[in-house]
Amino acid sequence: MRKKIIAGNWKMNKTAGDARSLVADIMKLSVDASKAHVIIIPPQVYLSEFGSLSKANGVSIGAQNSYPKNEGAFTGEVSAYILKSLGVEYCLVGHSERRKYFGEADLDCLEKVNALLEQGLTPILCVGEELSVREEGKHFDHVKKQLLAVLTSVTPTELTKIIIAYEPVWAIGTGKTATTQQASEMHSYIRQLISDQFDAKIASQVYVLYGGSVNDANAKELMSANDIDGVLVGGASLIFTSFEKIISAVKS
Ligand code: PGA
């Protein structure tokens, strides 16, 4: 049985002091590890401080980005190999902001996923369509293309170590959450796609999260839907009271 994953992507937010106090508050929560797993994804500069907290209290630490070489002359980059040495366990790949502002393409996602898997880190592979794509009715094809770019090159065992996050771009940071039905039908589609590429057993083991304007008012309903194994939260993860309510939505 898949438990729920609640991941907080802080993006480029929080000064050092604010980051410390938010993490301290989250660490005080009692998370029932049999039901929920919390992942905090702060800016890279805080990972050396927070990485050592990974696995404490049912909470893990994730990175927002990684570079697919281990070490070398790649100024400004941080590799999966270095992240591992900090205790980081998860890493986002292909977030729509990386795709839009930093030109991260499907092939880059594949390289990053491979490098992360090689180091034993769990990639959180983000996929999702822009509004124009949905309006044209091509959202399933779009997500399929993004997913297959990675899934066709990994083994079944590797796939069970990858988390997928469906994040419709039009819902990110806009306050426009996908309806539970819209999210649910895409999640079922993703699981069916995995089942077709691999098999139903593998498909049942893969976590598929929803992201895009998740907040304390909609998290519970989203997470109650079949095939939605948790949420990737941006804005609402920056406010302790909201994030806490999203986590408790799993328990209640
Ligand atoms: P949001 O961001 O919750 O602020 O919409 C989600 C994300 O980008 O992961």
What CATH number is given to the structural domain containing 188? 3.20.20.70
pLDDT over 90 percentage in the chain: 90
Tell me which of 177 and 229 has the higher pLDDT.
229
Tell me the pTM. 0.97
Q: Is 211 in the pocket of ligand 1 (CB under 6 A)?
A: yes
pLDDT over 70 percentage in the chain: 99
d(CA 216, CA 28): 19
Q: Is 120 in the pocket of ligand 1 (CB under 6 A)?
A: no
* Residue 180 Cα to ligand 1 middle (Å): 16
pLDDT tops 70 at residue 252:
no
pLDDT in tens, 21-44: 999 999 999 888 888 999 999 999
pLDDT in tens, 204-248: 999 999 999 999 999 999 999 989 999 999 999 999 999 999 999
Cα-flanking dihedrals φ and ψ of residue 229, to 5°? -95, 10
d(CA 85, CA 217): 37
Beta carbons of 21 and 246 less than 8 angstroms apart? no
Which residue from 13, 64, 163, 172 has its CB within 8 A of the most atoms of ligand 1, so it is best to mutate? 172
Query: What pLDDT score was predicted for residue 251?
Result: 62
Q: Is 172 in the pocket of ligand 1 (CB under 6 A)?
A: yes
Average pLDDT, the chain: 95
- Please give the DSSP secondary-structure letter assigned to residue 136: T
Phi-psi region of 227 (alpha: psi -120 to 50; beta: other; left: phi over 0): left
Beta-ladder partners of 60: 39
Which residue from 124, 174, 233, 242 has its CB within 8 A of the most atoms of ligand 1, so it is best to mutate? 233
Query: Which ligand 1 atom minimizes the distance to the CA of 215?
Result: 3
Query: What pLDDT score was predicted for residue 54?
Result: 76
pLDDT in tens, 79-92: 999 999 999 999 99
Q: Is 238 in the pocket of ligand 1 (CB under 6 A)?
A: no
Which residue has tokens 């079944």? 156
Q: Which domain holds residue 161?
A: 4-248
d(CA 116, CA 162): 10
Structure tokens at 28: 């005080």
Report the domain count for the chain.
1
